[in-house]
């Protein structure tokens, strides 16, 4: 069974908190892959986009007069281990932003059709708990649907751009009956199992009444959990969520605000403007640039013959009068011990132009660490595997193996 066949099979029997049309598009691409076994580079990229597999996206820090705002991207398909928006990775970014004294507020920058249900309720609970410590704003400029709205509803505030879509509260599962197709091919499948219900819902025969009831019960349980979580986050009743929030519909910005699904119609830039903040786009340990970086009047510094934005600098000495240094992985000089440790700590989040540059940077850090007597393991300088489509596929293969697919 090819990867694509395995992915397609795993899609059925799963409980999805995702817009059906997005899942259908994903399925169509997977079917093409299953039929052809190998996709071209362009098709691989299209499949990756549909799955939400993309280069790892770091959180960013928007800095301004009123403090710093951590902007955490929630892009693509939501899942536990990460086709696009990994709930495990998001939880880690959230915890670091909450614990960072330089961060005054947190924004979830959402553009997602939803995804699987695993890990979503746990992350939503963590967001609700964290909003007691810092303001957490969900902001969508594209789509915030299903599992993505599940997460947004846990935030202190939901902001929707004028042209964005939001909602799709509900879940569903799919059963595929391949029996007629296999019959036409002259193939008959026999399942031998231990356990009366072990083969319920298998794709080789029509869905029986008992299996249908079991699937419906599972969907109902997750659906009720979804509505209850939204009610808790939006400070309303579950009955109101069920009656008013569309039972699976998506809404435009103004209508979403009118019925209470969202709070404000505005863009991400307008939200950041409340804090006098502007995104600089650089990254550090969890994708954030120190809030001190933009404090000075001069926004650039001459380093190695280049005028660079201060937001590109990863390290400054303990005294604010000390010079800014380039991140060590972009420098040929051997820096201070603190700078080396900083580079090691955020290595997995570091983006590089290509694998060869990454290799050279790793060698420079190891050499600098050795000179300063700093122990560094190979694991701590492992490549950022989450950034590649191939690695994402490998993780999913492992999920399928664990699921017995």
Q: Which two tokens stand for residue 361?
A: 């940077």
Q: Where are the alpha helices (DSSP H) in 147-267?
A: 147-152, 179-184, 209-234, 238-244, 253-259
Question: In the predicted model, is pLDDT for residue 131 greater than 80?
Answer: yes
Question: In the predicted model, is pLDDT for residue 65 greater than 60?
Answer: no
Q: What is the pTM of this model?
A: 0.62
CA dist list (Å): 290 to 63, 95, 284 = 8, 16, 8
Q: What is the pLDDT of residues 315-363, one digit of tens each?
A: 444 444 444 445 554 444 555 676 677 677 766 655 555 677 677 777 7
Q: What is the pLDDT of residues 208-227, one digit of tens each?
A: 999 999 999 999 999 999 99
Question: In the predicted model, is pLDDT for residue 112 greater than 60?
Answer: yes
Q: Which two tokens stand for residue 367?
A: 């050499």
Mean pLDDT of 45-58: 47
Maximum mean pLDDT: which of 12-16, 198-202, 313-317: 198-202
More confident residue, 391 or 211: 211
Maximum mean pLDDT: which of 20-24, 29-33, 168-172, 293-297: 168-172
Give span(s): CATH 3.90.226.10, the chain: 60-169+245-277
More confident residue, 71 or 63: 71
Q: Which two tokens stand for residue 324?
A: 């800014």
**Residues of the chain with pLDDT > 90: what percent?**
36
Mean pLDDT of 44-49: 51
pLDDT for residue 214: 92
pLDDT for residue 309: 45
User: Given the DSSP bridges, would you call strands 172-173 and 15-18 parallel, antiparallel or unpaired?
Assistant: antiparallel
pLDDT for residue 122: 96
pLDDT for residue 313: 43
Q: Where are the alpha helices (DSSP H) in 12-108?
A: 20-36, 41-51, 87-99
Q: Which two tokens stand for residue 16?
A: 């999805």
More confident residue, 52 or 22: 22
Question: In the predicted model, is pLDDT for residue 40 greater than 80?
Answer: no
Q: What is the pLDDT of residues 261-281, one digit of tens each?
A: 999 999 998 988 887 665 544
Q: What is the pLDDT of residues 241-261, one digit of tens each?
A: 999 999 999 999 999 999 999
Separation between Cα atoms, residue 204 and residue 220, nearest integer Å: 25
Q: Which two tokens stand for residue 257?
A: 């605000």
Q: Comparing 58-67, 89-98, 174-183, which segment has the lowest mean pLDDT?
A: 58-67
60-169+245-277 under CATH 3.90.226.10, yes or no: yes
Q: What mean pLDDT is reported for the chain?
A: 73
Separation between Cα atoms, residue 17 and residue 85, nearest integer Å: 13
Give SS3 for 252.
strand
pLDDT for residue 253: 96
Q: Which two tokens stand for residue 80?
A: 């536990």
Q: What is the pLDDT of residues 141-161, one digit of tens each?
A: 999 999 999 999 999 999 999
């Amino acid at each position: 069974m090819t990867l694509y066949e395995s992915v397609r099979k795993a899609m059925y029997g799963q409980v999805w908190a995702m817009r059906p049309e997005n899942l259908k598009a994903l399925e169509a691409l997977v079917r093409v892959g299953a039929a052809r076994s190998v996709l071209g580079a362009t098709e691989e990229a299209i499949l990756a986009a549909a799955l939400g597999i993309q280069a790892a996206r770091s959180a960013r820090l928007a800095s301004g007069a009123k403090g710093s705002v951590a902007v955490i991207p929630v892009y693509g398909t939501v899942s536990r281990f990460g086709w696009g928006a990994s709930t495990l990775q998001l939880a880690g970014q959230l915890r670091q932003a909450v614990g960072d004294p330089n961060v005054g507020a947190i924004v979830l920058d959402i553009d997602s059709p939803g995804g699987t249900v695993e890990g979503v309720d746990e992350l939503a609970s963590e967001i609700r708990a964290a909003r007691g410590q810092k303001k957490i704003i969900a902001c969508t400029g594209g789509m915030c649907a299903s599992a993505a709205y599940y997460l947004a509803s846990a935030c202190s505030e939901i902001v929707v751009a004028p042209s964005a879509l939001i909602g799709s509260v509900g879940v569903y599962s799919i059963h595929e009956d391949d029996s007629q197709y296999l019959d036409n091919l002259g193939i008959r499948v026999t399942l031998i199992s231990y356990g009366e219900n072990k083969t319920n819902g298998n794709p080789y025969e029509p869905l029986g009444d008992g299996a249908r009831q079991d699937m419906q019960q599972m969907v109902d349980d997750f659906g009720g959990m979804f509505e209850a979580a939204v009610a808790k986050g939006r400070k309303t009743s579950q009955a109101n969520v069920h009656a008013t929030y569309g039972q699976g519909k998506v809404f435009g910005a103004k209508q979403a605000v009118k019925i209470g699904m969202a709070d404000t119609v505005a863009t991400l830039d307008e939200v950041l403007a409340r804090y006098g903040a502007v995104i600089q786009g650089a990254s550090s340990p969890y994708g954030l640039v120190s809030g001190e970086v933009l404090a000075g009047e001069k926004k650039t510094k001459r380093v190695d013959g280049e005028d660079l934005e201060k937001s590109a600098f990863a390290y400054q000495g303990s005294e604010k009068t000390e010079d800014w240094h380039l991140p060590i992985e972009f420098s040929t000089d051997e820096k201070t011990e603190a700078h080396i440790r900083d580079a090691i700590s955020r290595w997995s989040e570091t983006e590089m132009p290509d694998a060869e540059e990454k290799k050279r940077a790793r060698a420079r850090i190891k050499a600098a660490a050795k000179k300063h007597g700093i122990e560094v393991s190979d694991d701590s300088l492992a490549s950022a595997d989450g950034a590649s489509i191939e690695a994402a596929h490998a993780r999913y293969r492992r999920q399928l193996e664990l699921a017995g697919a």
